[in-house]
Homo-oligomer: A and B are copies of this chain.
Amino acid sequence: MDIIKPRTLSGFMELLPGKQQKLEKMMEILRNTYALYGFAPLDTPAIEDAQILLAKGGGETEKQIYRFQKGDSDLALRFDLTVPLAKYVALHYNELAFPFRRYQISKVYRGERAQRGRFREFYQADIDIIGDGKLDILNEAEIPAIIYRVFRGFGLKRFQIRVNNRKILNGFYAMQNLSEKSGEIMRTVDKLDKIGADKVCAILIDDCGLSEQQAQEILKFIAITGTNEQVLAALEGYAGQNELFDMGLAELKAVTANLNAFGVPEENFAVDLTIARGLDYYTGTVYETTLLDHPQIGSVCSGGRYDDLAGYYIDKKLPGVGISIGLTRLFYVLDEQGLLNPNLPSAPADALVLPMTEAAAPAISLAEALRSAGLRVQLYAEQKKFKQKMSYCDKLGVPYAVLLGEDELAQGKCSVKDMRSGEQVTLSPQEAAEYIREGLAGSNGPLILE
């Protein structure tokens, strides 16, 4: 038979079992944390009608999308989880209770030019809260608490949730008579971290056509930093000149006012006036999250408040707030940087049961007893030499080998070998389960290192 060389397409992540275990752990933390805040899991199809998926149309999206015909149908793979959510909410509007909170952790597809660290298939882990007509500001205030719990759950402490409000930005640009150029200006300001204030100023003047004074006003504005209190105080200085600005300031105050009640420490939160988020549809609070010791990774969790989720599909005003974690990229970068805790268990089993005699039944019963005690157990039945069995256990990284030879059988016991220390003890099945469980508890640690 001719052999076809196996390969996985470039831009598609396919992990070895040990690493996959860690990605699964991240997903479990995400699911559990999102659920704690009352978000319902949702699962929409990966394939949608292309007309519906591209209702908004245009731009980069259209070029990157995987679109194809099947029979008469014009189909496309989803490129984010927001458009399918909009379709879902519009379609099931009468069956849902609002505010509707959902999380979705699913793969999305973008046929980008393949390059290192860029993926064509990647997981997004999204939450959104959708209101019907209105949505209280407290929902926007709650988002940082959720981000905080997620990243603490990953084992991190050195991260910062950076928050701004688009009404403040848009109100400020209106004060400067720069409303029409606000998009352009925000995209330029967004580069501040990368290119510095001087270059931003030059672009504002040369490319955006601002006056020297306008550019200076903008730089002065985005240079406002300090504690939340200090930034809010500085913003008060602009109050009373523009209604939108004042609304934004009130919202920002509401978002920062309850951080303490939400359990978000001051050091993990900052009002940052340079945050704008590229997307046009954000209208209120916007969020970015950075790992303080790894700023080059960029924002690992972003989102914001929007006023019109599903206007393309339904004649209802559905405002919402949401965040998204680009899980595949985050995982890839953490792995590249060696930040995935190598000491966390990554084996598919907690124990490998090794029958050392001809009789299979006692080893099977032992394995089942350990499983019933909640342990993940593999029964290793292959006819191999002892050394090969041990080397299999080692290669998989299974922390305990459980041996069942003539002596153990005669005593109704088993020998448990701790593969890391080499220590071996003879115990009853019940004692063995307890011994292994205690040993495993000691090997818990953060998923991500700092």
Residue A385 interfacial (CB < 8 Å): no
Q: Could you tell me how many residues of chain A have their Cβ less than 8 Å away from some Cβ of chain B?
A: 104
Q: Nearest Cβ distance between residue A16 and chain B, in whole angstroms?
A: 6
Q: Nearest Cβ distance between residue A86 and chain B, in whole angstroms?
A: 8
Residue A87 interfacial (CB < 8 Å): yes
Residues of B within 8 A of A99 (CB): 380, 382
The residue among A1, A312, A364 with the most chain B CB atoms within 10 A of its own CB is A364
Chain A window 1-33, contacts with chain B (Cβ cutoff 8 Å), 1 for yes, 0 for no: 101111111001111110011011000000000
Residue A49 interfacial (CB < 8 Å): yes
Contact A371 B42 (CB under 8 A): no
Residues of B within 8 A of A120 (CB): 47
Residue A415 interfacial (CB < 8 Å): no
Partner of A121, one of B4, B38, B45, B376: B45
Known: A40-B17, A41-B24, A378-B101. A91 touches B8 (CB 8 A): yes
Contact A314 B121 (CB under 8 A): no
Contact B6 A87 (CB under 8 A): yes
Contact A348 B101 (CB under 8 A): yes
Residue A46 interfacial (CB < 8 Å): yes
Contact A14 B45 (CB under 8 A): yes
Partner of A4, one of B55, B257, B258: B55
Residues of B within 8 A of A261 (CB): 360-362, 364-365, 368
Contact B382 A145 (CB under 8 A): no
Known: A111-B71, A262-B364. A382 touches B136 (CB 8 A): yes
Residues of A within 8 A of B (CB): 1, 3-9, 12-17, 20-21, 23-24, 35-49, 51-52, 55, 66, 68-71, 73, 75, 86-88, 90-92, 95-97, 99, 101-102, 107, 109, 111, 120-121, 131, 134-139, 141-142, 145, 257-258, 260-263, 310-315, 348-349, 352, 360-362, 364-365, 368, 371, 375-383, 392, 395-396
What 3 pairs between A and B have smallest CB-CB spacing? A38-B378, A68-B68, A138-B381
